[in-house]
Protein backbone atom coordinates (compact mmCIF):
# COMPACT_ATOMS: atom_id res chain seq x y z
CA UNK A 1 0.00 0.00 0.00
CA UNK A 2 1.31 3.47 -0.87
CA UNK A 3 0.18 7.09 -0.76
CA UNK A 4 2.86 8.24 -3.20
CA UNK A 5 1.14 10.17 -5.99
CA UNK A 6 4.00 9.35 -8.36
CA UNK A 7 3.66 5.60 -7.76
CA UNK A 8 -0.13 5.78 -8.06
CA UNK A 9 0.12 7.59 -11.40
CA UNK A 10 2.69 5.09 -12.69
CA UNK A 11 0.56 2.11 -11.63
CA UNK A 12 -2.57 3.50 -13.29
CA UNK A 13 -0.74 3.85 -16.62
CA UNK A 14 0.48 0.25 -16.68
CA UNK A 15 -0.65 -1.75 -19.73
CA UNK A 16 -2.42 -4.32 -17.57
CA UNK A 17 -4.87 -1.77 -16.09
CA UNK A 18 -4.86 1.33 -18.29
CA UNK A 19 -8.11 0.29 -20.01
CA UNK A 20 -9.87 -0.11 -16.64
CA UNK A 21 -8.46 2.74 -14.52
CA UNK A 22 -8.11 6.50 -14.91
CA UNK A 23 -6.40 9.31 -12.97
CA UNK A 24 -8.11 12.46 -11.72
CA UNK A 25 -6.96 15.89 -12.93
CA UNK A 26 -4.19 16.33 -10.36
CA UNK A 27 -3.01 12.72 -10.75
CA UNK A 28 -3.46 11.77 -7.11
CA UNK A 29 -6.51 9.49 -7.23
CA UNK A 30 -7.50 6.46 -9.29
CA UNK A 31 -11.01 5.73 -10.54
CA UNK A 32 -12.61 3.11 -12.75
CA UNK A 33 -13.25 4.02 -16.39
CA UNK A 34 -16.39 1.87 -16.22
CA UNK A 35 -18.04 1.81 -12.78
CA UNK A 36 -19.27 -1.40 -11.16
CA UNK A 37 -22.70 -2.43 -12.38
CA UNK A 38 -25.23 -2.70 -9.56
CA UNK A 39 -26.37 -6.17 -10.60
CA UNK A 40 -22.88 -7.65 -10.80
CA UNK A 41 -20.77 -5.86 -8.18
CA UNK A 42 -21.73 -8.46 -5.58
CA UNK A 43 -22.16 -11.37 -7.97
CA UNK A 44 -18.92 -12.37 -9.67
CA UNK A 45 -20.59 -15.43 -11.21
CA UNK A 46 -22.01 -13.23 -13.96
CA UNK A 47 -18.51 -12.15 -14.97
CA UNK A 48 -16.61 -15.41 -14.62
CA UNK A 49 -15.75 -18.51 -16.62
CA UNK A 50 -14.55 -21.73 -15.01
CA UNK A 51 -11.63 -23.43 -16.79
CA UNK A 52 -10.59 -27.06 -16.34
CA UNK A 53 -7.57 -29.10 -17.42
CA UNK A 54 -4.99 -26.42 -16.65
CA UNK A 55 -1.53 -27.95 -17.00
CA UNK A 56 0.24 -29.06 -13.80
CA UNK A 57 3.48 -30.78 -12.83
CA UNK A 58 3.13 -34.02 -10.85
CA UNK A 59 5.35 -35.83 -8.39
CA UNK A 60 5.30 -39.61 -8.72
CA UNK A 61 6.01 -42.00 -5.88
CA UNK A 62 5.53 -45.69 -5.22
CA UNK A 63 3.01 -46.65 -2.56
CA UNK A 64 1.73 -49.96 -1.24
CA UNK A 65 -1.15 -51.52 -3.13
CA UNK A 66 -4.12 -53.43 -1.78
CA UNK A 67 -2.39 -56.80 -2.10
CA UNK A 68 0.79 -57.99 -0.38
CA UNK A 69 3.98 -57.00 -2.20
CA UNK A 70 1.90 -54.93 -4.62
CA UNK A 71 3.16 -51.48 -5.54
CA UNK A 72 1.42 -48.73 -7.43
CA UNK A 73 2.37 -45.25 -8.58
CA UNK A 74 0.78 -42.29 -6.87
CA UNK A 75 0.73 -38.98 -8.74
CA UNK A 76 0.49 -35.80 -6.67
CA UNK A 77 0.14 -32.35 -8.30
CA UNK A 78 2.84 -30.00 -7.02
CA UNK A 79 2.61 -26.84 -9.13
CA UNK A 80 1.07 -25.24 -12.20
CA UNK A 81 3.26 -25.02 -15.26
CA UNK A 82 1.33 -22.02 -16.59
CA UNK A 83 1.06 -18.55 -15.09
CA UNK A 84 -1.85 -16.20 -14.54
CA UNK A 85 -0.58 -14.04 -17.38
CA UNK A 86 -0.57 -16.98 -19.81
CA UNK A 87 -4.26 -17.64 -19.20
CA UNK A 88 -5.16 -13.95 -19.25
CA UNK A 89 -3.39 -13.41 -22.58
CA UNK A 90 -5.14 -16.44 -24.10
CA UNK A 91 -8.65 -15.43 -23.02
CA UNK A 92 -8.13 -11.73 -23.76
CA UNK A 93 -8.47 -12.56 -27.45
CA UNK A 94 -12.16 -13.34 -26.84
CA UNK A 95 -13.11 -10.78 -24.18
CA UNK A 96 -11.36 -8.31 -21.89
CA UNK A 97 -10.12 -10.16 -18.80
CA UNK A 98 -9.73 -8.37 -15.48
CA UNK A 99 -8.58 -11.19 -13.22
CA UNK A 100 -7.38 -14.80 -13.26
CA UNK A 101 -7.34 -17.08 -10.22
CA UNK A 102 -5.55 -20.43 -10.31
CA UNK A 103 -7.33 -22.77 -7.92
CA UNK A 104 -5.67 -24.64 -5.02
CA UNK A 105 -7.08 -27.09 -2.51
CA UNK A 106 -6.37 -30.04 -0.23
CA UNK A 107 -5.01 -33.50 -1.00
CA UNK A 108 -6.50 -35.61 -3.77
CA UNK A 109 -7.97 -39.07 -3.67
CA UNK A 110 -9.64 -41.27 -6.25
CA UNK A 111 -13.39 -41.55 -5.81
CA UNK A 112 -14.21 -45.26 -5.68
CA UNK A 113 -17.59 -44.77 -7.37
CA UNK A 114 -16.68 -42.37 -10.19
CA UNK A 115 -12.97 -43.20 -10.58
CA UNK A 116 -12.37 -39.45 -10.67
CA UNK A 117 -9.88 -37.44 -8.65
CA UNK A 118 -11.52 -35.51 -5.84
CA UNK A 119 -10.44 -33.28 -2.96
CA UNK A 120 -9.46 -35.24 0.11
CA UNK A 121 -11.42 -33.77 3.02
CA UNK A 122 -10.25 -35.99 5.86
CA UNK A 123 -9.82 -33.90 9.04
CA UNK A 124 -6.28 -35.21 9.52
CA UNK A 125 -5.22 -33.52 6.27
CA UNK A 126 -6.88 -30.14 6.76
CA UNK A 127 -3.58 -28.52 7.75
CA UNK A 128 -1.61 -30.10 4.91
CA UNK A 129 -0.23 -27.88 2.12
CA UNK A 130 -2.58 -26.85 -0.68
CA UNK A 131 -2.15 -28.48 -4.06
CA UNK A 132 -3.08 -27.13 -7.50
CA UNK A 133 -6.51 -28.35 -8.58
CA UNK A 134 -5.91 -28.04 -12.32
CA UNK A 135 -8.56 -25.37 -12.80
CA UNK A 136 -8.96 -21.60 -12.81
CA UNK A 137 -11.50 -18.79 -12.68
CA UNK A 138 -11.29 -16.16 -15.42
CA UNK A 139 -13.14 -12.95 -14.58
CA UNK A 140 -14.02 -10.46 -17.31
CA UNK A 141 -14.44 -6.69 -17.13
CA UNK A 142 -18.18 -6.84 -17.87
CA UNK A 143 -21.06 -9.22 -18.49
CA UNK A 144 -20.90 -8.31 -22.17
CA UNK A 145 -17.23 -9.30 -22.41
CA UNK A 146 -17.87 -12.60 -20.62
CA UNK A 147 -20.84 -13.38 -22.87
CA UNK A 148 -18.76 -12.59 -25.96
CA UNK A 149 -16.11 -15.10 -24.89
CA UNK A 150 -18.68 -17.71 -23.81
CA UNK A 151 -20.34 -17.71 -27.23
CA UNK A 152 -17.24 -19.11 -28.92
CA UNK A 153 -15.64 -21.06 -26.04
CA UNK A 154 -18.69 -22.92 -24.70
CA UNK A 155 -20.91 -25.29 -26.68
CA UNK A 156 -24.41 -26.54 -26.02
CA UNK A 157 -24.68 -30.11 -24.77
CA UNK A 158 -21.89 -32.51 -25.71
CA UNK A 159 -20.87 -30.69 -28.89
CA UNK A 160 -17.43 -29.16 -29.37
CA UNK A 161 -17.32 -25.35 -29.05
CA UNK A 162 -16.45 -23.37 -32.16
CA UNK A 163 -13.07 -22.56 -30.58
CA UNK A 164 -11.11 -24.96 -28.37
CA UNK A 165 -8.29 -23.32 -26.42
CA UNK A 166 -5.02 -25.13 -25.71
CA UNK A 167 -2.26 -24.27 -23.25
CA UNK A 168 0.91 -26.30 -22.78
CA UNK A 169 -0.53 -29.03 -25.03
CA UNK A 170 -3.72 -29.45 -22.98
CA UNK A 171 -7.21 -28.67 -24.26
CA UNK A 172 -9.01 -26.40 -21.83
CA UNK A 173 -12.59 -27.16 -20.86
CA UNK A 174 -14.62 -24.01 -20.35
CA UNK A 175 -17.99 -23.41 -18.71
CA UNK A 176 -19.68 -20.53 -16.94
CA UNK A 177 -19.09 -20.27 -13.21
CA UNK A 178 -22.84 -20.65 -12.68
CA UNK A 179 -22.85 -23.91 -14.68
CA UNK A 180 -19.94 -25.17 -12.55
CA UNK A 181 -21.82 -24.32 -9.34
CA UNK A 182 -25.00 -25.99 -10.65
CA UNK A 183 -23.05 -29.16 -11.54
CA UNK A 184 -21.49 -29.28 -8.05
CA UNK A 185 -24.87 -28.87 -6.38
CA UNK A 186 -26.42 -31.57 -8.60
CA UNK A 187 -23.58 -34.01 -7.84
CA UNK A 188 -23.94 -33.31 -4.12
CA UNK A 189 -27.70 -33.92 -4.25
CA UNK A 190 -27.16 -37.19 -6.12
CA UNK A 191 -24.61 -38.36 -3.55
CA UNK A 192 -26.97 -37.52 -0.70
CA UNK A 193 -29.84 -39.33 -2.43
CA UNK A 194 -27.67 -42.39 -3.03
CA UNK A 195 -26.55 -42.35 0.60
CA UNK A 196 -30.17 -42.09 1.71
CA UNK A 197 -31.20 -45.02 -0.51
CA UNK A 198 -28.29 -47.08 0.81
CA UNK A 199 -29.38 -46.35 4.37
CA UNK A 200 -32.98 -47.31 3.61
CA UNK A 201 -31.86 -50.59 2.01
CA UNK A 202 -29.70 -51.42 5.01
CA UNK A 203 -32.63 -50.73 7.33
CA UNK A 204 -34.89 -53.03 5.25
CA UNK A 205 -32.26 -55.79 5.28
CA UNK A 206 -32.00 -55.53 9.05
CA UNK A 207 -35.79 -55.77 9.36
CA UNK A 208 -35.82 -58.88 7.18
CA UNK A 209 -33.11 -60.48 9.31
CA UNK A 210 -35.11 -59.68 12.41
Determine what percent of the chain is predicted with pLDDT higher than 90: 40
pLDDT band at 169 (very low <50, low <70, confident <90, very high): very high
Which ranges in the chain belong to alpha helices (H)?
5-12, 84-91, 143-153, 177-209
What mean pLDDT is predicted for residues 4-31?
63
The pLDDT of residue 47 is 93
For the entire predicted model, the pTM comes to 0.65
| Segment 70-92 mean pLDDT | 91
pLDDT surpasses 80 at 153:
yes
Between β-strands 71-80 and 170-171, what pairing exists: parallel, antiparallel or unpaired? unpaired
Q: What is the pLDDT of residues 29-40, one digit of tens each?
A: 666 665 544 344
In the prediction, which pLDDT does 111 show? Answer: 47
Say if residues 97 and 141 touch (Cβ distance below 8 Å).
yes
3-class SS of residue 46: helix
pLDDT at 155: 86
- What is the model's pLDDT at position 131? 86
Amino acid sequence: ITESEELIATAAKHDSVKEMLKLDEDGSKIGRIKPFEDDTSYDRKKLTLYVENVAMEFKEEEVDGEKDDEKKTKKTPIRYIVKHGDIKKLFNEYGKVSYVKLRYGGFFRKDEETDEMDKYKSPKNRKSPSRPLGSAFVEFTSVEEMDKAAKVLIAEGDEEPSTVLELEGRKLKVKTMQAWIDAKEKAKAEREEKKKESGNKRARDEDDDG
